[in-house]
Amino acid sequence: MTEPLKMSETIYEGFEKMGKKQNKEQVPPAPPPEQQQKSSAGKQPKKSPANGAGQKPAQFKSLEEALKALDVSELQQQLEKSQNLFPENPSVWVKDLAGYLNYKLQAPEMEPTLSNHSYGEPLHGYRICIQAILLDKPKIATLNLANYLELLRSHQNRPVKCLTIMWALGQAGFSDLSQGLKVWLGIMLPVLGIKTLSSYAIAYLERLLMLHANLTKGFGIMGPKEFFPLLDFAYMPKNALSPSLQEQLRRLYPRLKVLAFGAKPECTLHTYFPSFLSRATPHCPDEMKRELLNSMTECLSLDPQSLGVWRQLYTKHLSQSSLLLDSLFKSWNTLPPKLRKNLQETIQSFKMTNEEMKSSGSSQEVMECNALCSKLQLKMKGRGFPWIRLLLAMMVFAAGFIVHDIRSQGSFKGQYQPKLCKSTHILFIVRLIQYCFSFSWLEKNAPYYYSEAVTTVGPVLEVVWEKTKIVFAFIAEQCSDLILWVKENAPRFVEWVSQVIYHCYRYTTK
């Protein structure tokens, strides 16, 4: 009887040791031909065992053929026999079952990682048992990851053995995303720089993320410590990955980012902000710089604590802060209103810090940051002079002024407005307005046209009015940003228009 597997042994080593003993314990080799001839001459031939263990197993061209030819009922008998002999020792059941499958599945040996095969296809009995156990109990694979990593590093010059360990532990991820991520982060990410192992590690990660479309089950596994090495592998040029593997990892990066930020990014993103900021140097690659700036903007937008973290890091990261300030200035119109409001206090704090650093000897970086802070403050005060809005307001005011003058004087001739309108070629428009607002015309024609309009288009207008209210409600919701601007700038604009009208009036009365 073989002792059960020790917990300190790896899956691969444990099954490897059992494999060396299987011919003695499970499938005794057939006697040599000479011995068979001697025994057959003096004794009657014994009846072969019911399970056919004494017969030489058939050879198959592929594992698929071997699995199709496997007698499931005989396999069940072997398992029941082992359970009866060792009722309280499941490890022996697995050992016996693996040995039986190794004996029956006589197919050519394939590479151990199954990268050329579809998911779920092991190579021999031990791998079938490993796969079955980890698909049913995936947490077993993550109980001792530190020891498995040490084993991988000690055997990194033996890639076949390393790939076999990675394959075996990776089976846990196909039924449980969280356990698969733990395996990948625990043993595959640390060896990602080893060329003989990196290809399988990234291929496994891609299969894992594509298999589990719902990433929420993987939240809470990855943090900044695991995320930023992945960002560096994906974007930093001339690292240990080949260009093709780097591109493959970059395609997976958005899903890894979702996993890292987790279910509540509004509470966690401030912990990522320092590492984003420190990497955003002026000399980092353009594609990486864009990703870092977008990520920092996301941190500032979703997690208000990121602004406080930025204020603390500002003096030691002036060049990086300059890049971020410039990015915020260029994308100001697309920033969320909440972020634009929250930035006011931070920019003011930066301005005060810049003044303090100027007094102690200014640098080019301080001057650049100070100039960008000033530009952002101008953005916060307003979006520039609203020429289009001013033109519309003046047109409405002019029309109202003319109509009021006509109705109060009762005549258009002899006033200053006709000369002004004639010189600007809008006399025809003014006369049309005068005709429309003539009291006699309204008294004569208004009742008739009103009655006809109510009869003809009344029902339609009611429907249009209801639809219009819905449309205006939608527009108001979508234009909340513009409405906020109007609320902030309308008083100054009205004051400015009043001054313009006053000066125009004084000029015309001279």
Interatomic CA distance for residues 15 and 5, integer angstroms: 9
Q: How far apart are the first and last CA of the chain?
A: 120
Q: Which residue has the higher pLDDT, 120 or 505?
A: 505
Q: Is the pLDDT of residue 370 over 80?
A: yes
Q: Is the pLDDT of residue 472 over 90?
A: no
Average pLDDT, integer, range 245-254? 96
Interatomic CA distance for residues 312 and 295, integer angstroms: 18
Q: Is the pLDDT of residue 14 over 90?
A: no
pLDDT at 251: 96
pLDDT at 147: 95
Average pLDDT, integer, range 85-107? 86
Q: Which residues are within 8 A (CB) of 78 and not within 5 positions of it... i.e. 6 or more apart?
A: 51, 96, 97, 100
Long-range own/partner contacts, residues 333-337 (CB < 8 A, 24 or more apart): 333/383, 335/297, 335/301, 336/301, 337/480, 337/481, 337/484
pLDDT at 183: 97
Could you tell me if residue 65 is inside a domain? yes
Average pLDDT, integer, range 92-103? 87
Interatomic CA distance for residues 171 and 204, integer angstroms: 10
Q: Is the pLDDT of residue 375 over 80?
A: yes
CA distances from 343 to 275, 335, 346 (A): 20, 11, 5
Place of tokens 């990196």: 198
Interatomic CA distance for residues 91 and 1, integer angstroms: 12
Q: At what angle do helices 286-302 and 305-313 cross, to 10 degrees?
A: 130
Place of tokens 């970059």: 250
- The most confident of the ranges 29-33, 284-288, 363-367, 398-402 is 284-288
Nearest CA to 111 out of 63, 79, 144 is that of 63
Structure tokens at 43: 């004794």
Interatomic CA distance for residues 36 and 31, integer angstroms: 6
Place of tokens 């406080």: 308
Q: Which residue has the higher pLDDT, 27 or 172?
A: 172
CA angle 170, 172, 174 (to 5 degrees): 90
Q: Is the pLDDT of residue 45 over 50?
A: no
Q: Which residue has the higher pLDDT, 199 or 442?
A: 199
CA distances from 212 to 74, 142, 217, 235, 461 (A): 36, 19, 9, 25, 53
Place of tokens 């207008």: 461
Q: Which residues are within 8 A (CB) of 133 and not within 5 positions of it... i.e. 6 or more apart?
A: 94, 140
Average pLDDT, integer, range 56-77? 84
Average pLDDT, integer, range 96-107? 85
Could you tell me if residue 70 is inside a domain? yes
Average pLDDT, integer, range 301-307? 95
Structure tokens at 302: 């979703």
Q: Are 253 and 231 in contact (CB under 8 A)?
A: yes
Q: Is the pLDDT of residue 146 over 80?
A: yes
Interatomic CA distance for residues 477 and 216, integer angstroms: 31
Q: Which residue has the higher pLDDT, 244 or 53?
A: 244
Q: Is the pLDDT of residue 40 over 50?
A: no
Q: Is the pLDDT of residue 438 over 70?
A: no
Residue type (1 letter), 65: E
pLDDT band per the 50, 70, 90 thresholds, residue 51:
very low
Structure tokens at 360: 């102690």
Average pLDDT, integer, range 313-331? 95
The dihedral of CA 475, 480, 481, 482: what is its sign?
Answer: positive
Q: Which residue has the higher pLDDT, 475 or 221?
A: 221
Summarised one tens digit per residue, pLDDT across range 488-499 is 677 777 777 777
Structure tokens at 298: 């996301």
Burial call 105-125: b when 16+ CB within 10 Å, e when fewer: bebeebebbbeeeeeeebbbb
* Helix%, strand%, coil% for the chain, nearest 5: 75, 0, 25
Q: Is the pLDDT of residue 373 over 50?
A: yes
Interatomic CA distance for residues 75 and 97, integer angstroms: 8
Cα 235 from chain centroid (whole Å):
15
Structure tokens at 342: 């929250």
Interatomic CA distance for residues 289 and 309, integer angstroms: 20
Q: Which residue has the higher pLDDT, 32 or 105?
A: 105
Q: Is the pLDDT of residue 481 over 70?
A: no
Could you tell me if residue 307 is inside a domain? no
Interatomic CA distance for residues 173 and 192, integer angstroms: 18
Q: Is the pLDDT of residue 235 over 90?
A: yes
Average pLDDT, integer, range 239-248? 94
pLDDT at 49: 37
pLDDT band per the 50, 70, 90 thresholds, residue 72:
confident
Could you tell me if residue 501 is inside a domain? no
pLDDT at 308: 95
Interatomic CA distance for residues 290 and 368, integer angstroms: 20
pLDDT at 297: 96
pLDDT at 36: 44
Percentage of the chain with pLDDT > 90?
A: 43
DSSP symbol at 214: -
CA angle 492, 494, 500 (to 5 degrees): 105
Q: Is 401 helix (H, G, I), strand (E, B) or coil?
A: helix
Could you tell me if residue 82 is inside a domain? yes
Interatomic CA distance for residues 480 and 72, integer angstroms: 68
Q: Are 324 and 372 in contact (CB under 8 A)?
A: no
How many residues in the chain?
510
Structure tokens at 289: 């710089």
Could you tell me if residue 63 is inside a domain? yes
Least confident residue range of 227-236, 240-249, 285-294, 452-461: 452-461
Structure tokens at 310: 């930025």
Q: Is the pLDDT of residue 224 over 90?
A: yes
Residue type (1 letter), 131: Q
**Total structural domains in the chain?**
1
pLDDT band per the 50, 70, 90 thresholds, residue 5:
very low
Least confident residue range of 192-206, 358-372, 405-419, 460-474: 405-419
Q: Is the pLDDT of residue 414 over 70?
A: no
CA distances from 102 to 64, 123, 332 (A): 14, 9, 66
Could you tell me if residue 86 is inside a domain? yes
Q: Is the pLDDT of residue 287 over 90?
A: yes
425: exposed, middle or buried (Cβ count in 10 Å: 0-12, 13-18, 19+): exposed
Q: Which residue has the higher pLDDT, 30 or 287?
A: 287
| Residues of the domain holding 91 | 11-44+51-104
Least confident residue range of 109-118, 319-328, 353-362: 109-118
pLDDT at 108: 78
Could you tell me if residue 253 is inside a domain? no
pLDDT at 102: 84
Average pLDDT for the chain: 78
